[in-house]
Chains A and B, each alone.
Chain A
Amino acid sequence: MERAAEIELARQLIEGKPEAFDRFVDHFRSKIFNYSRLMCGHQEDAEEVAQETLLKVFENFDQLREPEHVRAWVFRIAKNACLVKRRKSIYAPQQEFSLDQLMPARGASGDPMKIEIADWSGIPEDEVLRSELQRVIEGAIAEMPEIYRSVMLLRDVEELSTEETAQVLDVHVDAVKTRLHRARLLARKKLDGYLRASSQAVEKN
């Protein structure tokens, strides 16, 4: 669903038009489920978080003053529901990465003009590769430290703005930028490794 359609649904619900209810529930339930599944790590927890979030959303719908910000508003509630659930389930240690750790390695020759990087020219045109990369991307997001994972899900998957992401997570915009950059570098590294392994497999065959 386009962002504009989602905002329109929120506007209708604020105006008290229940026709928008089912579509709003189904749309946001999937979104919240995916966010919390990747944040909590459990399917059942994620379904519970989605239900608890939507319950709070509807109980407090009159507090949503600007329907343009409905996605950020819903995700702020989802983030809090997820935190409560997370405390009850698994605990992953926080880990930070320095930029040096994420820079590409120099080629074996030591030539500064050469870095080790896969051939990325085939994507996103290649449909098959793209669907495999979906799985790789999800794995990369699931594996990254929580502080990066939450930012990447909100900024690059849900496409919230930097400011909206900062509000959802209660952090400064600079922290969002720093974490997002590291998250992207981690995801890129993972994809690069996958592309290199696949091109080597093709060469061997």
Chain B
Amino acid sequence: MASHQHDENCKKMFALLSEYLDMELPTEACKEMDAHIAACEPCAAFTESLRKTIELCHRYQPQEVPRSIARDARQRLLEAYQKMLAERRL
């Protein structure tokens, strides 16, 4: 039944992987994850691929940019800001 036991542990850690990588797990649970990953090759490979996924998201550059803002649209924003400042001073 060793392989079944192994599977259950993998499943348990699979659910906690994001919190583990975000360092949001309590110390004890984090240590258990460290130990499991060190001993389980598939989980180590999977964890690494998830870590790289997150890293790619952090570096993600949008594939489209907005058209430059129209002069009157920028002007409306500036007026809203100036109005807010003027009302605050009253």
Contacts and interface: CB of A to CB of B under 8 A. Distances in A.
B15 interface: yes
Interface residues of A, number: 56
Judged by DSSP, the binding face of A is helix
Interface in A126-165: 130, 133-135, 137-138, 152, 156-157, 159, 162
Contacts of A114: 42
Contacts of A22: 74
A112 B6 contact: yes
B50 A159 contact: no
A25 interface: yes
A34 interface: yes
Nearest to A192: B49
Interface string B4-48: 001100110011011100101000000000000000011001101
Contact of A120 (B7, B49, B59, B63): B49
Interface stretch (A1-9, A66-74, A81-89, A179-187): A179-187
A156 B50 contact: no
Contacts of A46: 66
A46 B62 CA distance: 13
A13 interface: yes
Given A55-B76, A61-B84, A117-B49, A187 B66 contact: no
Interface of B: 3, 6-7, 10-11, 14-15, 17-19, 22, 24, 41-42, 45-46, 48-50, 52-67, 69, 73-74, 76-78, 80-85, 88
29 contacts: A25-B74, A25-B77, A34-B62, A37-B62, A51-B77, A61-B84, A62-B84, A104-B42, A112-B3, A113-B41, A115-B45, A117-B42, A118-B49, A120-B45, A120-B49, A120-B52, A123-B56, A130-B56, A133-B56, A137-B56, A137-B57, A138-B60, A138-B63, A159-B58, A180-B18, A181-B18, A181-B19, A185-B50, A191-B53
